């Protein structure tokens, strides 16, 4: 943020509340400044559009809008007017990107555009994006081709005026736009450090949750898809046992509701206890993304969770089959962090270990996990945080290249406290364990530190080689690592959040 843009706030706007301010901003920029006809100020789908805006000291200074269509059918004649054929999935139109002259050059609209495109892809997963350019904006074809990789689609006569339609269609092109938008968002944040609030939270609050493609998201598995599970099972089992050894002191220090606790809110000084389970008695824990079930089976025996009834949810049918075979006394069902299939307010504790880094939409997962947690329940998240990596530049370049090409986000823990707060969660505990490659054959443990052997540590990063896009960077990094005695480290973080108790008002 610069001295010329103090007090800037970015927010999603409800048309019912902000239409006058949005229309006035459009009039100032498009009609008064650029001399375009006044009909450009409105769009027939504005009332149901998405409007992301920036305000300074309460005054709207920038805004970008997006309008949502079904794929295209007799019920969507507007798409036919632009020469767009029917497709499966949503079509979205991007437009009305503008800001006051007094606030240009500070990166405000870059934040808005990158945030809008990123969140729309994550939350709505459209099948097509299009842009209509008219009047002086027709000169922006090269700009949108460069910025979005948008392609010229058609020149259409509309109300006697020639307009240019540009589009991106298909998963591959929209995925590429998403990765570019995410990179743009990170770059824009360094220039203009303001945050875009959650679109998932906004749509949920507006009662528009039907827009979320939960079934499609649940069918995706960003972890398992590029890997051979037969090759991964031994590594997974070893990783889970290592994680359990690291987690034992964390589990012991976390104020879980006691399984024998009465209906009270003082079971621990730092957390309000949820209501006890009904007639079945005892406390309940759901492990989301449970994988092979190894970790769930181990923590189920820990004193901190004594008396808990535990269950695992996993999207991969192969991993569920393995877990059921290996642990027939435990319950495992198919489900994802976006759609667990569990009842409302059914669990005292939800655990998610090495799950959030594989999600395209962490916010939709937070919405779902908040739904199934009881008031006062705990969300217990463990993940690696790639922003903490230390080591040679060549290996850092591999980690950063993986981040650019992987749809998940191995830096998500840096933003998770802020994201969780948007869904009413409050922080309870935050632990960090630094994992180093300076150990021996067997892992060694110290407070807040784990030391692995060189090959054991490389195993935490070698999966990145499965991404064809970073093969060159991976080969350079691996050659350096295996041919030297360089030291590297990475933090594993445990973040524990509490859902607001029923006696408190949720956000």
Question: Could you please report the per-residue DSSP string of 430-443?
Answer: EEEEEEES---SS-
Rounded distance between C-alpha atoms, residue 365 and residue 333, angstroms: 17
Percent of the chain with pLDDT over 90: 72
CA angle centred on 22, ends 17 and 23, rounded to 5°: 115
Helices (H), strands (E): how many in the chain?
A: 15, 16
Residue 281 is predicted with a pLDDT of 54
Q: From edge to edge, which strands make up the β-sheet containing 284-288?
A: 331-334, 309-314, 284-288, 347-353, 373-390, 489-498, 426-436, 449-451, 444-446
Q: What is the pLDDT of residue 273?
A: 41
Q: Reply yes or no on whether the pLDDT at 276 is more than 50.
A: no
Q: In the chain, pLDDT over 70 holds for what percent of residues? A: 90
How would DSSP label each residue in 249-297?
HHHHHS-PPPTT--S-S-SBTTBPPPPPPSTT-S-EEEEET-TTSHHHH
**Residue 140, CB half-sphere, CA atoms under 13 Å: how many?**
18
What digits encode the pLDDT tens for the residues 43-89?
999 999 999 999 998 899 999 999 999 866 566 888 988 999 889 88
CA dist 273 and 285 (Å) reads: 14
SS3 368: helix
- The per-residue pLDDT for range 163-195, each reduced to its tens digit, is 999 999 999 999 999 999 999 888 888 888 888
| Length, in residues, of the chain | 507
**For the chain, how long is the longest CA-to-CA vector?**
76
| Structure confidence at residue 408 (pLDDT) | 87
What are the phi and psi torsion angles at 279 (to 5°)?
-60, -30
426-436 vs 489-498, strand pairing mode: antiparallel
d(CA 37, CA 142): 23
Q: What sign does the dihedral 36-38-39-42 (CA atoms) show?
A: positive
Q: Provide the 3-class DSSP secondary structure of residue 108.
A: helix
Mean pLDDT in residue range 96-102: 93
Instruction: State both tokens at 81.
Output: 């007017």
pLDDT value for 278: 35
Orientation of helix 362-372 relative to helix 108-124, angle to 10°:
60
CA distance 321 to 242: 23
Predicted pLDDT of residue 498: 98
The pLDDT of residue 265: 37
Distance between terminal CA atoms of the chain?
A: 27
CB 179 within 8 A of CB 404: yes
Which tens digit of pLDDT belongs to each residue from 3-40? 344 588 999 999 999 999 999 999 999 999 999 999 99
Question: pLDDT tens for residues 428-466?
Answer: 999 999 999 999 989 999 999 999 999 989 988 988 988
Q: Comparing C-alpha atoms, which of 200, 205, 195, 197 is closest to residue 506?
A: 205
Contact of 396 with 347, CB cutoff 8 Å: no
Q: Note whether 345 and 372 are within 8 A (CB).
A: yes
Q: Please provide the average confidence, as pLDDT, over all residues in the chain.
A: 88
* Residues 397-430: tens digit of each pLDDT: 999 999 998 888 999 999 999 999 999 999 999 9
Tokens of 500: 């607001």
Confidence (pLDDT) at 34: 95
Q: Show Cβ contacts of residue 468 under 8 Å, excluding neighbours closer than 6 positions.
A: none
pLDDT-wise least confident of 222-231, 280-289, 293-302, 308-317: 222-231
Q: How far apart are CA 93 and CA 129, in angstroms?
A: 6
pLDDT(506) > 70: no
pLDDT score recorded for residue 75: 63
Q: Are 90 and 127 within 8 A, CB to CB?
A: yes
Residue 96 — pLDDT band, cuts 50, 70, 90?
very high
Residue 170's nearest CA partner among 211, 125, 213, 217 is: 125
Q: Are residues 465 and 458 in contact, defined by beta-carbon separation less than 8 angstroms?
A: no
Question: Where would I find the H helices in 373-496?
Answer: 393-405, 416-422, 454-458, 471-482
CB-CB contact of 309 with 285 (8 Å)? yes
pLDDT value at position 229?
58
pLDDT in tens, 331-374: 999 999 999 999 999 999 999 999 999 998 999 999 999 999 99
Phi, psi of 490 (to 5 degrees): -155, 140
């Amino acid at each position: 943020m610069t001295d010329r843009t103090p007090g800037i706030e970015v927010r999603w706007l409800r048309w019912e509340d902000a239409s006058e301010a949005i229309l006035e901003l459009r009039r100032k920029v498009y009609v008064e400044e650029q001399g375009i006809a006044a009909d450009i100020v409105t769009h027939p789908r504005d009332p149901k559009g998405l409007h992301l805006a920036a305000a300074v000291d309460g005054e709207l200074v920038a805004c970008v809008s997006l309008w949502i269509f079904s794929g295209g059918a007799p019920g969507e004649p507007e798409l036919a007017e632009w020469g767009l054929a029917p497709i499966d999935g949503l079509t979205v139109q991007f437009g009305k990107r503008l800001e006051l002259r007094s606030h240009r050059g500070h990166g405000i609209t870059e934040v808005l555009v990158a945030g809008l495109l990123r969140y729309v892809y994550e939350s709505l997963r459209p099948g097509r994006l299009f842009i209509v350019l008219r009047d002086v904006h027709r000169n922006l074809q090269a700009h949108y081709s460069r910025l979005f990789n948008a392609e010229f689609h058609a020149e259409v006569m509309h109300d006697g005026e020639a307009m240019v339609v540009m589009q991106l269609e298909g998963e591959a092109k929209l995925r590429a736009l998403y990765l570019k938008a995410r990179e743009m968002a990170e770059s824009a944040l360094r220039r203009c450090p303001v945050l875009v609030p959650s679109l998932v939270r906004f749509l949920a609050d507006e009662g528009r949750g039907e827009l979320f493609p939960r079934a499609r998201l649940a069918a995706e598995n960003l972890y398992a898809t590029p890997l051979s599970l037969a090759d991964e099972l031994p590594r997974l089992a070893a990783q889970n046992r290592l994680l359990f050894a690291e987690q034992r002191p964390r589990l012991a220090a976390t104020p879980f509701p006691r399984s024998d606790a009465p209906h009270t809110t003082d079971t621990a000084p730092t957390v309000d206890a949820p209501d006890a389970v009904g007639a079945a008695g005892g406390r309940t824990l759901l492990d989301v993304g449970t994988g092979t079930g190894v970790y769930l089976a181990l923590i189920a025996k820990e004193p901190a969770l004594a008396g808990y009834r535990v269950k695992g949810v996993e999207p991969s049918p192969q991993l569920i089959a393995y877990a059921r075979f290996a642990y027939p006394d435990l319950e495992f069902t198919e489900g994802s962090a976006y759609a667990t299939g569990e009842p409302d307010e059914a669990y005292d504790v939800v655990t998610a270990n090495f799950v959030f880094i594989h999600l395209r939409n962490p916010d939709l997962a937070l919405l779902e996990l908040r739904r199934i947690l009881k008031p006062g329940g705990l969300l217990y998240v463990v993940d690696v945080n790639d922003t903490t990596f230390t080591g040679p530049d060549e290996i850092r370049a591999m980690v950063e290249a993986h981040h650019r090409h992987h749809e998940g986000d191995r830096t998500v823990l840096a933003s998770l406290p802020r994201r969780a707060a948007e869904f009413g969660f409050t922080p309870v505990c935050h632990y960090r364990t630094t994992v180093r490659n300076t150990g021996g054959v067997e892992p060694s443990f110290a407070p807040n530190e784990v030391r692995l052997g060189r090959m054991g540590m490389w195993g935490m990063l070698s999966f990145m080689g499965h991404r064809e896009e970073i093969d060159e960077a991976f080969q350079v990094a691996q050659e350096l690592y295996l041919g030297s005695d360089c030291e590297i480290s990475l933090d594993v973080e445990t973040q524990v959040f509490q859902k607001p108790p029923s006696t408190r008002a949720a956000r």
